[in-house]
Amino acid sequence: MKIKTFLKTLIAAVAPLAAAGTLHALPLDPDEEKPVALANSGFESGLTDWDTTSDPGMSLATPEAAYRGTVGLRVQDTNEESGSSLHSAHLDAAPGHTYQLRFWARAVQAEGVAIYLRFFSADQRLLTSAELANEHLFMIPGTTTSFRQFVLEAVAPEGTATVRVWIHSFNKSQATADFDDISLFESLR
């Protein structure tokens, strides 16, 4: 009976934190992880090395968004119809490997901006998406108004050849969030 009471208390305490996005995966084992080279991950060179092709000017490198250094990324979405879209380059990835994205972020206004790990086949076919019900994303909680480090972890599906980081504000939301010091790690676990 005491165990049941303890578990109910634990679940009651942890559930709201998980729903608010304040819990995340533990760092990978340093002996088993390796960094994946993500160019300009702190936005110190503006948006160089990031793909802005599908971004309607909502993603900006600005000093106001810096956690560390002089510049960070601000996603400012004031459009009710479309969202932002900023992609990293395609980075080599392998099926069955665990990828962990570590980043600093805060919500400046409202909620509705997320960071994704997107896996692609050798012919650049998207293997993880909302339509496939297997996308990997972390939405910045609207209550996180000071910079915090978050972690998004995902296992690459069968057929994976590359992975991309995608920062996107939802199409129907109007929100602003800042990102900085993004790093990606790979593990066999």
pLDDT tens digits for range 106-125? 999 999 999 999 999 999 99
Phi, psi of 7 (to 5 degrees): -65, -40
Q: Which residues touch 7 (CB under 8 Å, ≥6 apart)? A: none
SS3 13: helix
Mean pLDDT of the chain: 88
CATH class for the region spanning 2-187: mainly beta
Q: What is the pLDDT of residue 26?
A: 54
Q: What is the largest CA-CA distance in the chain?
A: 59
pLDDT of residue 90 exceeding 70, the answer is yes
Q: What residues have CB less than 8 Å from 78, skipping those under 6 apart?
A: 174
CA distance 42 to 139: 19
Q: What are the structural domain ranges in the chain?
A: 2-187
pLDDT grade for 29, boundaries at 50, 70 and 90:
low
Average pLDDT over residues 20-26: 46
